[in-house]
Structure 1
């Protein structure tokens, strides 16, 4: 995702980012947003009352890097502005997912770990 830009954000019972290259990152469980000055805020996608406005700062943000810890099932994104977003796995639910335009999917598994499906062409 490095070098891509956040083109769209959306809210429902999750928080979703769509990048300039069609990658969808969906957060269904609480995650931490850190702004460029280092102030952190826990965001709960189902209840974005207090932290939702802070998420608008991600719109058009340049993604500097994104990484996963496959053993822990966590996702970390860093932005060129100096901010970051981190989502840990959840004990009982899938915390986040990443889907590419080609249909490749990564999902944080409950309790840790990572599930992966190759691009759709490779599955056929």
Structure 2
């Protein structure tokens, strides 16, 4: 499975992190009712992101062979983004998510 990780300003805004364009080391896991994303990245690469920490959304696009892309949209709550300069690590906690396959949505809503 191929996976793309995005961190965006709001829903339709600009992407601050997009592994489809520039790789970064990241991991994510579900912890009870939340999803925790850990990103190893230099502060210089995310200086603009840190200005908008209360307006972020996270997306994971999962590409499986012979299947349409599955997209997962994670909603990031207030005060859910932390950056440790010492560790060079960004932590994002999402409080909800919606998984969908765009090909399965009808053009008529």
**Which of the five TM-score ranges fits, normalised by the shorter chain?**
0.3 to 0.5
Larger RCO: Structure 1 or Structure 2 (Cα < 8 Å, ≥ 6 residues apart)?
A: 2
Give the TM-score normalised by the residue count of structure 2. 0.37
Structure that is richer in strand per residue: 2
